[in-house]
């Protein structure tokens, strides 16, 4: 019996319990409909790139407002320091030591005629959308997918989502003016856009802003199409219940945003043109463009909030906001200029805190007390069990997440805690990390060393992870190393930290 078959039997048993009796988990009030759930996932948004998290140069008033009306997490983590595995951990509740997708793995090349998509989720995988389907939820996914291309087992429609609109392929998403997006299994051609390489560079700046626009923009900005699709999904399903994942590609590179948004910041920064020398497309005002992308995304989120208010769904709609990993280190983005991760070490592609600690905001008016902060330690593989608790069913078996619903409700004394959190990443010679209480353990360059040492940091005393105290705490080192060694074996070659000295790839 597959995980989804076993779960269907369990949910059916919960639903046939007579009214007035307690169900499988938290009882659902029979007088209220199931709540609508919106999960917003930004792409490469750093821990301190929102005003509520301390950003001073980029304006994010609507997301800040969302936090003011709900709760913000100071110690929430992404599932991975890169895109696809982070999305996989969110959807399945399993971290990268147990999940199927553990890194980005391409299924095609960069040309316009290459097959789209990354390594697909297998048919036996079990997602949040499939968990909610027996309760009558309609699930939609809008934005960047990255877990399977057209006609694959990982396509959103094959993983429980009745509605999909956006990028199936992460490579295509490197261009905000693509020739097409996908609406379920159909191509939606975008007017005025033509294919061009996502990694062009210049030897000198173009003469005018108009020349940049002509060279690197098109007629249809993909994020505008995606927010329209998200709003349409909400309107069509306003009688609910619905589950919407809005996985905006912003602010992942390339630096592309309509000129009217760049104009908001153009005169605020002493910008020097970026010529594409560090990957991705050039831009005449890279800092202004980056800030404008985030502010425009903030406005799109404001449109979602406003529509929920307009339809009088506010009291019965939960909105969550997070990011898939930390700020990027490439392509014209200046993380130091924006203080994007504060004093945290590392950026995207690193299992140090700057690569995986991300914003997390949850708003649920009438249920979550407004204006709160929590230091509860959580990760995006906790979303699945948290949603299970919200709708009053048991969490699926064999997942790594723990519900943080008690924290949302202010019931901190009854909040279960993780014994540990685990990450692995396979680029840069391979790395692992474990968070265990106040301790953070990291192994680096695993493929080049038969027994890569464990570095140990106390995040309370040393949040920047600058002072390795492994020699002083051999018991903690041994405990965290045991957690690292407990990871399950991956069927994908290259995802098992076999040292290169043995001849393995």
Query: Of 323, 281, 107, whose CA–CA distance to 177 is shortest?
Result: 281
CATH number of 3-414: 3.40.720.10
Structure tokens at 57: 């140069």
Query: Of 292, 285, 253, 289, whose CA–CA distance to 271 is shortest?
Result: 285
Give the SS3 label for residue 386: helix
Residues 73 and 59: their CA atoms lie apart, in Å, by 20
Structure tokens at 100: 């199927």
pLDDT at 294: 98
**Helix (H) or strand (E) run with residue 245 in it:** strand 242-247
pLDDT at 477: 98
Residues 78 and 359: their CA atoms lie apart, in Å, by 9
Residues 196 and 199: their CA atoms lie apart, in Å, by 9
Residues 430 and 435: their CA atoms lie apart, in Å, by 17
Residues 218 and 257: their CA atoms lie apart, in Å, by 10
Structure tokens at 344: 């945290």
Topology match between the domains 3-414 and 426-502: no
Q: Which single residue is written with the structure tokens 């998200």? A: 230
pLDDT at 2: 52
Residues 125 and 5: their CA atoms lie apart, in Å, by 11
pLDDT at 499: 73
480-to-437, 454, 456 alpha-carbon distances in Å: 11, 8, 9
Residues 425 and 431: their CA atoms lie apart, in Å, by 5
| pLDDT by 10s per residue, the chain, length 505 | 455 555 554 554 454 333 333 334 443 444 568 999 999 999 999 999 999 999 999 999 999 999 999 999 999 999 999 999 999 999 999 999 999 999 999 998 888 889 999 999 999 899 999 999 999 999 999 999 999 999 999 999 999 999 999 999 999 999 999 999 999 999 999 999 988 887 889 999 999 999 999 999 999 999 999 999 999 999 999 998 999 999 999 999 999 999 999 999 999 999 999 999 999 999 999 999 999 999 999 999 999 999 999 999 999 999 999 999 999 999 999 999 999 999 999 999 999 999 999 999 999 999 999 999 999 999 999 999 999 999 999 999 999 999 999 999 999 999 999 999 999 999 999 999 999 999 999 999 999 987 899 999 999 999 999 999 999 999 999 999 999 999 999 999 889 988 765 433 3
Query: Of 340, 441, 398, whose CA–CA distance to 46 is shortest?
Result: 340
pLDDT at 29: 45
CATH architecture entry for 426-502: 2-Layer Sandwich (3.30)
Q: Residue 74: is it exposed, middle or buried by C-beta count within 10 angstroms (0-12/13-18/19+)? A: middle
Sequence-distant (6+) residues with CB within 8 A of 114 are 108, 171
In the chain, where the domains are located = 3-414, 426-502
Kindly provide the b/e burial profile for residues 246-279, where b requires at least 16 CB atoms within 10 angstroms of the residue's own CB: bbbbbbbbbbbbbeebbeebbeebebebbbbeeb
pLDDT at 30: 47
Residue 225 near residue 120, CB atoms below 8 Å? no
Neighbours of 89 (CB within 10 A): 31
Q: Which single residue is written with the structure tokens 């202010």? A: 410
DSSP structure string for 45-70: --TT-SGGGT-SSS--HHHHHHHHTS
Sequence-distant (6+) residues with CB within 8 A of 457 are 439, 440, 441, 442, 465, 466, 467, 468, 469
Residue 349 near residue 81, CB atoms below 8 Å? yes
Sequence-distant (6+) residues with CB within 8 A of 231 are 303, 304, 307
Query: Of 36, 66, 4, whose CA–CA distance to 318 is shortest?
Result: 36
Length of the chain, in residues: 505
Instruction: Report phi then psi at 323, rounded to 5.
Output: -135, 155
Residues 296 and 59: their CA atoms lie apart, in Å, by 9
pLDDT at 502: 43
Query: Of 129, 170, 163, 164, whose CA–CA distance to 146 is shortest?
Result: 170
Give the SS3 label for residue 483: helix
């Amino acid at each position: 019996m597959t995980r989804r078959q076993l779960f269907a039997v369990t949910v059916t048993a919960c639903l046939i319990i007579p009214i007035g009796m307690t169900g499988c988990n938290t009882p659902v009030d029979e007088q209220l409909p199931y709540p609508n759930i919106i999960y917003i996932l930004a792409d490469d948004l750093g821990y301190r790139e929102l005003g509520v998290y301390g950003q001073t140069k980029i304006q994010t008033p609507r997301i800040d407002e969302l936090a003011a009306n709900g709760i913000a997490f100071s110690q929430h983590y992404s599932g991975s320091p890169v895109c696809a595995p982070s999305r996989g951990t969110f959807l399945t509740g399993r971290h990268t030591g147990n999940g199927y997708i553990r890194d980005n793995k391409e299924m095609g090349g960069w040309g316009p005629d290459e097959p789209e998509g990354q390594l697909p989720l297998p048919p036996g995988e079990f997602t949040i959308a499939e968990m909610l389907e027996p309760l009558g939820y309609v699930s939609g996914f809008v934005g960047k997918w990255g877990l399977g291309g057209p006609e694959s087992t990982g396509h959103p429609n094959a993983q429980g989502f009745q509605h999909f609109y956006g990028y199936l392929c992460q490579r295509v998403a490197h261009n905000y003016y693509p020739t097409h997006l996908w609406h379920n299994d159909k191509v939606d051609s975008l007017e005025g856009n033509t294919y061009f390489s996502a990694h062009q560079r210049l030897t000198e700046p173009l003469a005018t802003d108009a020349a940049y626009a002509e060279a690197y923009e098109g007629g249809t900005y993909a994020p505008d199409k995606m927010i329209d699709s998200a709003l349409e999904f909400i309107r069509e399903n306003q009688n609910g219940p619905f589950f919407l994942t809005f996985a905006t590609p912003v602010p992942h590179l390339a630096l592309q945003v309509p000129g009217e948004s760049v104009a908001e910041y153009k005169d605020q920064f002493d910008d020097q043109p970026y010529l594409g020398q560090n990957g991705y497309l050039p831009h005449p005002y890279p800092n202004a463009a980056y800030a404008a992308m985030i502010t425009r995304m903030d406005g799109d989120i404001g449109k979602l909030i406003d529509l929920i208010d307009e339809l009088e769904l506010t009291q019965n709609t939960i909105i969550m906001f997070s990011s898939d990993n930390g700020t990027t280190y490439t392509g014209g983005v200046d993380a130091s200029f924006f203080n994007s991760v504060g004093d945290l070490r590392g950026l995207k592609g690193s299992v140090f805190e700057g690569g995986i600690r991300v914003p997390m905001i949850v708003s649920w008016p009438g249920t979550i007390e407004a204006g709160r902060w929590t230091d509860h330690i959580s990760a995006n593989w906790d979303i699945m069990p948290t949603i299970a608790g919200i709708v009053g069913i048991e969490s699926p078996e064999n997942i790594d997440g723990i519900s943080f619903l008690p924290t949302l409700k202010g019931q901190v004394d009854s909040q279960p805690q993780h014994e540990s959190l685990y990450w692995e990443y396979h680029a840069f010679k391979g790395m692992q990390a474990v968070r265990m209480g106040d301790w953070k353990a990291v192994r680096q360059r695993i493929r080049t060393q038969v027994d890569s040492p464990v570095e140990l940091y106390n995040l309370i005393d040393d949040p920047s992870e600058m002072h390795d105290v492994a020699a002083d705490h051999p018991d903690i080192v041994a405990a965290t190393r045991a957690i690292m060694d407990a990871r399950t074996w991956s069927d994908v070659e290259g995802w098992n930290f076999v040292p290169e000295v043995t001849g393995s790839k």
